[in-house]
């Protein structure tokens, strides 16, 4: 523990020390992070970033950790949590939401306002920043379909970036290529709709998720991107890996594109299972699967 760094961090924001990354991800896997910092304003975030860059301290912004595989190694740097960036407001049919907001909670708030557009993310346990970074999607819709612009901290400046300039593609955005950029807030375009119709759609999709996904076990959500030739789950089923297990990591019997933490899985268990699936699918189908779960601290 660097006492001098800790003192400086505490002057800027709330700080926790030696926190397991496993407690910050839905997969419940990951080594211990030296510092976790919770800035509560853009001024605090700017001060924090200037300090980390000046002292060459490694850092990572983590939201709700819904789509991330952390290694078992210690992370001797700073994890930045934007949990306190949780304000949002509606301007007509537009929603402006800070990065720390729960996208599930926002989808329900939009429904109460009679605004449609976020039904497809009403079951994704992630933050606004996380779903924007990943261009998350479901039911043939993605965040790029509703995002107008993104408020970003980059090059020591805060500025709005248009949807077009975010370079959204399938499960990808420009932020993958610029890990030093931080998503602060998002402007989302919604459409007026009857609250009853929005609620009915969200209820039906919630039931579908509960029936088809292993929501009772730790996971990182869908592991593989769907290739053009065939859905990933069909390929995994085709190689006979439903219920297949390595260590504590297991291919879900309920939805084979989910790998669940069945019993204190290590990051190596998870990654070994991923690589074995990719190898078997390529051998059998000549199709290369790509993991959409982000790897960190490897």
pLDDT of residue 146: 98
List the domain boundaries for the chain. Answer: 3-80, 88-196, 215-296
Q: Distance (Å, rounded) from C-alpha 32 to C-alpha 19?
A: 5
Is the pLDDT at 3 greater than 90? The verdict is: no
Strands 182-189, 88-91: pairing kind: unpaired
Residue 2 pLDDT greater than 90, yes or no: no
CB 7 within 8 A of CB 1: no
Q: Average pLDDT of the chain?
A: 96
User: If you average pLDDT over residues 11-35, what whole number do you get?
Assistant: 97
88-196 has the same fold as 3-80? no
pLDDT in tens, 95-147: 999 999 999 999 999 999 999 999 999 988 899 999 999 999 988 899 999 99
Q: Which residue has the tokens 């601290």?
A: 297
Rounded to an integer, what distance in angstroms lies between the CA atom of residue 150 and that of residue 160?
Answer: 5
117: left (phi over 0), alpha (psi -120 to 50) or beta: left
Which one of 3.40.720.10, 3.40.710.10, 3.20.20.10, 3.90.78.10 gives the CATH number of domain 215-296? 3.90.78.10
What's the chain's length in residues?
298
In tens, the pLDDT along 212-267 reads: 899 899 999 999 999 999 999 999 999 999 999 999 999 999 999 999 999 999 99
Average pLDDT of the segment spanning 6-17: 97
List residues with catalytic annotation. Answer: 171, 222, 292
Q: 88-196 is classed in which CATH architecture?
A: 2-Layer Sandwich (3.30)
> Quick one: what percent of the chain has pLDDT higher than 70?
100
For domain 3-80, which CATH number applies: 1.10.10.1200, 3.40.718.10, 3.30.360.10, 3.30.43.10? 3.30.43.10
pLDDT given at position 210: 87
How far is it, in rounded angstroms, from Cα 12 to Cα 24?
Answer: 22
Query: Which residues are bridge partners to 35 per DSSP?
Result: 17, 78
Residue 1 has pLDDT above 80, yes or no: no
Residue 63 has pLDDT above 80, yes or no: yes
Strand partners, 69: 295
Query: Do residues 102 and 127 touch, judged by C-beta distance below 8 A?
Result: yes
Contact of 237 with 257, CB cutoff 8 Å: no
If pLDDT is split at 50, 70 and 90, which confidence band does 185 have? very high
User: pLDDT of 44-55, one tens digit each?
Assistant: 999 999 999 999
Task: Provide the pLDDT for residue 56.
Answer: 96
By DSSP bridging, strand 32-38 and strand 75-80 are parallel
């Amino acid at each position: 523990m660097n006492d001098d760094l800790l003192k400086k961090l505490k002057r800027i924001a709330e700080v926790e020390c030696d926190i397991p990354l496993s407690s910050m991800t839905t997969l419940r896997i990951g080594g211990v992070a030296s510092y976790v910092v919770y800035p509560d304003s853009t001024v605090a975030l700017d001060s924090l970033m200037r300090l980390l860059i000046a002292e060459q301290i490694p850092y990572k912004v983590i939201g709700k950790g819904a789509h991330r595989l952390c290694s078992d190694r210690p992370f001797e740097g700073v994890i930045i949590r934007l949990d306190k960036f949780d304000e949002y407001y509606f301007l007509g049919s537009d929603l402006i939401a800070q990065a720390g907001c729960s996208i599930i909670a926002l989808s329900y708030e939009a429904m109460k306002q009679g605004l449609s557009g976020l039904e497809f993310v009403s079951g994704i346990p992630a933050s606004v920043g996380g779903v924007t970074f990943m261009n998350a999607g479901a039911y043939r819709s993605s965040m790029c379909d509703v995002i107008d612009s993104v408020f970003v901290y980059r090059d020591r400046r805060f500025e709005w970036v248009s949807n077009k300039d975010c370079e959204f593609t399938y499960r990808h955005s420009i932020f993958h290529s610029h890990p030093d950029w931080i998503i602060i807030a998002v402007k989302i375009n919604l459409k007026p709709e009857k609250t009853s119709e929005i609620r009915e759609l969200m209820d039906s999709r919630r039931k579908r998720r509960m029936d088809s996904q292993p929501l009772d076990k730790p996971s990182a959500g869908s592991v593989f991107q769907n290739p053009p030739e065939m859905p990933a789950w069909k390929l995994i089923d085709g190689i006979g890996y439903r219920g297949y297990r390595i260590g504590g990591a297991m291919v879900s019997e309920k939805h084979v594109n989910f790998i669940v933490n069945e019993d204190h899985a290590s990051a190596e268990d998870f990654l070994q299972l991923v690589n074995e699936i990719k190898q078997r699918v390529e051998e059998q189908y000549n199709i290369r699967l790509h993991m959409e779960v982000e790897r960190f601290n490897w």
